[in-house]
Chains A and B, each alone.
Chain A
Amino acid sequence: MRRGSSGFWLAAAVMLSPVLLTTTAVAQTSANGDLTKMQSNASEWVMPTKSYDNQRYSTLDQITAQNVGKLQVAWTFSTGVLRGHEGSPLVIGNIMYVHAPFPNTVYALDLDHDGKILWKYEPKQDPNVIPVMCCDTVNRGPAYADGKIFLHQADTTLVALDAKTGKVDWSVKTDDPSKGATGTSAPMVVKDKVYVGVSGGEFGVRGWVAAYSTKDGKELWRAYSEGPDKDLLVDPQKTTSLGKPIGADSSLKSWQGDQWKIGGGDTWGWLAYDPKANLIYYGSGNPSTWNPSQRPGDNKWSMTIFARDPDTGMAKWVYQMTPHDEWDYDGVNEMILADQEIGGKTVPTLVHFDRNGFGYTLNRETGELLVAEKYDPAVNWATGINMDKGSKDYGRPILDKKYSTETPDVNHQGICPAALGTKDEQPAAYSPDTKLFYVPTNHVCMDYEPFRVSYTAGQPYVGATLSMYPPQGSQNMGNFIAWDATTGKIKWSDPEAFSVWSGALATKGGVVFYGTLEGYLKAVDAKTGKELYRFKTPSGIIGNVMTYEHNGQQYIAVLSGVGGWAGIGLAAGLTDPHAGLGAVGGYAALNNYTALGGTLTVFKLPSS
């Protein structure tokens, strides 16, 4: 599987000299120590989510609530690709790494020389991968460690590039795109392993997270979301769910027959890592198909938060948020790790804003559920989450039967949120200064009509049609909110015309940034949500805002390039099928505001 000349030379050198082998190993460990250290250097942005805890918080404070109004464009860069641009660039030293959607170009830009292109990587990939990417050809970016850039390409090639030259060090195939498996998510590196997951829930791809050696791309472990215990990497006695052992065959028992083999539970979101607990965290997506009547049972462990040992892959705890999903509420959204004060005690929490509309706060060491509240009042498929520890339904959503979609060939109406969730992959941010989470949200409901589908490998395996519209009485399709995760309450909420599909950035300067689908970069006051600045970039923003410092100056950067699911669903504007004829076309059409693009826009304050 290994390719590339440097990989070969490394292998040859190892065979020739055991001494060198030891040296390499030592260098490896210390270099990885570097990644943890590098994260605390505010001038760099070494991981897609800024740091292992996914807080997306920067201690840079040159740009403040007082002066952000003066922000101006410093420079721009076109990726040359007109598609949905998710993720954000990385800054390591004086080099910025910018990625693009399919064909998954990566550029290294020299910040010391006005962004001169140091190298460009553009893999040759079979265009037939494009139509099996369910919701645009997005990629959420590369990861960095040990002088290498790791990228999970659309065709599920995991590649390690030399960060200095862009040359392929090694590459390995992680799955099979001819069966609908694709790579869209950003890898994460811990110590000497790079972790990656897979997309393909709309093609019946069984989800997994795998660890590869950063050194040579060797697969070290692979943990599936569904199937027999040996595939799941669980210990029936030691792996717990809400404090109780999950028992043997926990997944198999929750499916009928062999459906789990094409059962989805894909793992295309962000990964997190807690060095102290030595656990990595991520979520799994929707069970396949979207037609719930074809897969009776809880469909474990789709829609689940996993906490795993990064060295062995063994799961410490799991928590399934939406058992037997009937609405496509993937559980993949980011896990934000923050130590918070709850009931007078500092608790190591994990905060997760799920597609299903509930904001969850858990103890990240034990998996204990602490808070679960709606972060959009419009959410109606469940009235709440059962918090009664004595109940057999503890931790399960309290369903409102009215919004069940169990019966096929019936158009189930008025379900909130829509399948794209109250929030999708666009990551929230946390500020330890305000102790608030800043969450980009969707404010959209749906009608959902499931129907029977047959499975053919590599063909869409969806089994439901849906139509989407804002909740009754709302004209806005999004909100940008501040959330108190210790109580589960919205602190403030800024309405947005469209879904907010851009990752947020919180800064010590008291300013929070996010992008909008029309293309605005916006800065708001972290305390009040008051808008302080806006600038319209060339295209709609589904990328994540980042910040870095170069030569003593703080910069803010964001990719624009509309697309993703938002670009597909909202391009022509939504209609409310229940509002009568007068309202048809009543909601804003995104294509009246923006067109395709692919540009990085970088901001700074004017030099004084």
Chain B
Amino acid sequence: MPIPIDSTLGMLADNLRKRRSALPMGRRTRLAWTKGLGIPRGGETVLYTGQMWQMVPAINAMSRQLAKYENSRFSGVFRLARSVNRFVNLTPFLARTRAKERAVANARLRNVARLLRAAGVTFGYLYEDDLYAGTLAHDEGLDQGFARHARFVYSVLKAHGVQRVITVDPHTTNMLRTVYPKLIPGYALEVRSYLEVLAESTLPTPRPVDKSVTLHDSCVYARSEGVLEQPRKLLTGGGVRLSEPELSGKLTFCCGGPLETLFPGRSGEIARARVEQLRRASPNIVTACPLCFANLSRAAPDQVDVRDISDYLTEAYVPAEA
């Protein structure tokens, strides 16, 4: 049995309306990464995670669950799940996350904060008001719920007096920079990805990272947001040797991530095809999106190392004590 589209999208819509997230997580899970960093609350410029990295362990856990259901005859389970989820947040039950995956996701956000500091960028954080941007609802065509959510997120940012947002991932960047302005009259927010901010800043002299890698461009960064040169400049500036895969830049090939929810089988096939293309260039794959990271690392065999770009950049540019 394929995953039933109606119950799954219904659950997504319910979660977004009631809990303002695709995969609602507790406060502790969302904010664990900030521990000890002392990032000030609020401010005109804020770092905005959109909860994307925090969701990765739950996405992985869901994916392990869905793999069991995709070819079974349990369509009733989904219907039941949607009804129950209206009243009780099922995400923590359906998505039992692994401590190691949570630690990896949190480390990426800490990397980003430390890199920005190393570059002399001043920023605050909205803590519990760092909300999911609604990408999945937008992509699945849940337009009314998405528009409602987008207006809410924008009103929260404005209530905090935010003028500039530094994003961590391509999807949140795309929502806040390209999609929201089409829905919200008078939209006034400057949105930059941390890769763009870092590429324009003066970074400390790097400790060269002696490694050959290949970069997987995210579809959204490459084709919607024009973030192509920045990751390359930052990596090579940090001493990393870069070989381009068969399909890169504006012609990059999707990681399969967007199909994870409804067609996990197809999603895995696309991820494996992409890993093959990339490993022909180098067994060290670099991603710049939490969803690309989740999907490609799940599909990669043991000999292939998938890492987020912030790992290499931190190694190169963040002084040891920072």
Chain A complexes with chain B:
no
Query: Interface residues, chain B, CB within 8 Å of chain A?
Result: none
